[in-house]
Structure 1
């Protein structure tokens, strides 16, 4: 690893209203290294990435790239100068092909007399996909038909073709299965071996320990410390992130099952493009875990239960009166809430403020006649944001300005504000730090103890084992295994029914 700073940020300050997202932060990112950037949600990691890539302008501070002043005007300007980013949320363009996404902005490479030679572009994109081990993704297919994970792999393929000096990987691994992670790890290691710089933002402390040559810790927008390779351990990083010792044993310790045998949700013989004759029930006061590989159908199951997708066969019923769930409106009337894995596109309105997001499902609850008073909105949003300790400048702050963990809290707050009796949580702790994760697990446990029910879809086996009363495993769209809560249950017990 060369001891040469390719990118230097000096005394960077960025404010969102009264919130100081970054406060006089200085970091050197060196050639031929994977440099971890970590901290709790709201610590300033993604804000720093956004300043570096030209999304935000800093109020104070300077940046240099290869010793020369660096002031990107936009993401495209940053990319032209060799700084690219793979983001946590969706970074592909709907309505075009996989190949067009791989070469977005570079169509002129395949243009002849103003016409893009699509077959040539598709061949080139497929070669890249094959090279990174993603030959199951076909370059000619519409991107809209690909899973969330495959879309992230397409972004990785796009990054492979960039003339990169600095690659920023912002929480991308949380959206990927082990296969997708291995593809990304290979890219990162290849770039490092070529003398490039990788800035790696992740909440997975084991992942950071394994991959990083150095790590910078941020806390509340402030620089805390740089760690060298030999200093990087999960315990050290955890303590520096939160300023105190934090244990990672934050799952439930009780072995209590559902509070009663009363069934609050029934799925009867549901089949769809991915699902094959799925039947299950959820009981009052139960956390039912659904697990499997990324494309096993579990994420689609959540959408079918909430009424976003209609099954080809079968039905979903809720409540003692067995009301059939036909669409999200019916689900909401039955006091069901849904938090999607794809948070920014499906769980919150990024360009709306916190107040509007929290109040959205609850207008029938707070209106008087046809009138909704600003005082009622303020009261509901203030109460629910306070319960979840959402870090914000005010209820008028736009959700796009929040950290991942605080966005997730807003997504939960809107359903808690509507007095939901049943929550469908798809990957509820994806892309959030240990502190927020512990808070969400505590909230889930309190929710259960109050007699309410949770259907939790998760790709994290320890999360399933640690939080669920029962676990159902899906494989290739069908139920393959059922497990009751037990202190003896292990990841290996689940894996054999997934693969």
Structure 2
């Protein structure tokens, strides 16, 4: 039975970024034994609010209490010391150090004597933290940089949970986790609830929110809209509260002819890469949306990188129409191929740079004047057109990309490749961490690109997305293609799942 005792409360929180009002007198109450969902479109303020609660940044005004006492964390470590931990949306580990050092970050004094670190004690503590969340395949001595993004998330979770917090904030974390990772975090959330502790859970997946949460708080444009208790959960109601209107138009495609040209514009023949790809062959046709799905470690993300020349194959060839081979990212770009990475903040964007610079960098050869001159006014015109075309919500094109919401960051990534006029687009989890309104807009953009004769590969862990958008769907398992399905109104997730597991 959920307790009615209040663990945490935020009252009239305000936050501005220059002229942008991120939060306007937002209040939030979290009870003991509660999993409270926090939902809203990109730019609604949910990540700003959670970062204030976690000590990442300060509120402009307002107050917070924890266990009835004033709560004003000066940073994330201080927040964790006080009993509030957060697993962030993007990468939250530090490069260049070991797993153990990441888990014990900020606690080195506990393992230091006379200036020397007791590595055995440090590693033992980290191993206990990993085992505490049920993870046994990651070693404390491993360099963090050798571990993939999903397992790095488990390291972050272990770090937070090792401090036995009274409340955790899970910000869009499940979107990057495999099913195994999701089950780990769902189990920890249930444990927190059973121990009369609390969780703030942020996700764009409505089915996930309605399944795991006891209550929901909806934000829109930095303003509190409504609280909903479990009996009030209704998908259409929540969507309308999020966007301030009823969703109109098709979410995915509403056609089922699945037609595309005969011309093959991109092909892979017998591609192999370690144990991730095993003699994979495929063809992409002109005007086709080719979906590629499977469980997280099936090899599909490696495949996307290999098709763009970012991942070097052990054997096999990638070619575009005319027989020209792709062996590097530069060759891929010259041949009209663009790539949207799953790991957006690390592989697709320069977070410290402006929106303009991120968009222009991929199109410099399109705006330069003979012989090699690039004028600022041309850069600004180029970026402004794409910002308007993709409806990037920002105060200025000079704004830092890292200050944007997840959906607007993704629009900037799309803008890079659309601005180049890329004829082939490889999209790896293109709607990860994006709200339903932006998702719908992206799906419409992808279909528009198909209608213009562009060829698109969508790699995704969301079967509904793949079935809803693809002309043809390939399923992978253990580095191989195990199934192929044509677009059909009868095709369902149950039809393809057995080819994944």
Q: Which TM-score band (shorter chain)?
A: over 0.9
Match status 1:229 vs 2:230: yes
Match of 1:13 in 2: 14
Match of 2:30 in 1: 29
- The 1-side partners of 2:115 and 2:67 are apart by 36
Unaligned runs of 5+ in 2: none
- Over 3 Å counting, the alpha-carbon distance change for 1:247 and 1:99 in structure 2 is farther
Contact 1:425–1:457, Cα closer than 8 Å, also in 2: yes
Name the stretch that deviates more: 36-45 or 21-30: 21-30
Contact 1:258–1:284, Cα closer than 8 Å, also in 2: no
TM-score by length of 2: 0.95
Name the stretch that deviates more: 475-484 or 254-263: 254-263
- The 1-side partners of 2:497 and 2:252 are apart by 20
Unaligned runs of 5+ in 1: none
| Cα-to-partner distance string for 1:422-472 (whole Å, 9 max, x where unaligned) | 111000111111111100000000000100011111001111111111111
Name the stretch that deviates more: 70-79 or 222-231: 70-79
Match of 1:297 in 2: 299
The within-5 A match list for 1:276-287 is 276-287=278-289
- The 2-side partners of 1:488 and 1:395 are apart by 44
Match of 2:195 in 1: 194
Match of 2:380 in 1: 378
Contact 2:80–2:160, Cα closer than 8 Å, also in 1: no
2:22 match: secondary structure:
strand
Match of 1:419 in 2: 421
The within-5 A match list for 1:338-353 is 338-353=339-354
Match of 2:84 in 1: 83
- The 2-side partners of 1:194 and 1:32 are apart by 7
Match status 1:250 vs 2:251: yes
| Deviation for aligned residue 1:388 | 1.2
Contact 2:132–2:162, Cα closer than 8 Å, also in 1: no
| Deviation for aligned residue 1:312 | 1.1
Contact 1:258–1:287, Cα closer than 8 Å, also in 2: no
Match of 2:150 in 1: 149
Name the stretch that deviates more: 154-163 or 388-397: 154-163
Alignment length (residue pairs) = 498
| Deviation for aligned residue 1:383 | 0.8
| Cα-to-partner distance string for 1:55-90 (whole Å, 9 max, x where unaligned) | 222222222222333222222222222221101111
Match of 2:443 in 1: 441
Match of 2:213 in 1: 212
- The 2-side partners of 1:351 and 1:43 are apart by 22
Match status 1:321 vs 2:302: no
- The 2-side partners of 1:114 and 1:473 are apart by 53
Contact 2:214–2:230, Cα closer than 8 Å, also in 1: yes
| Cα-to-partner distance string for 1:133-170 (whole Å, 9 max, x where unaligned) | 32233333222222221111121122220131221100
Match of 1:333 in 2: 334
2:422 match: secondary structure:
coil
Match of 1:488 in 2: 490
Match of 1:203 in 2: 204
Contact 1:33–1:197, Cα closer than 8 Å, also in 2: yes
TM-score by length of 1: 0.96
- The 2-side partners of 1:268 and 1:294 are apart by 23
Contact 2:363–2:419, Cα closer than 8 Å, also in 1: yes
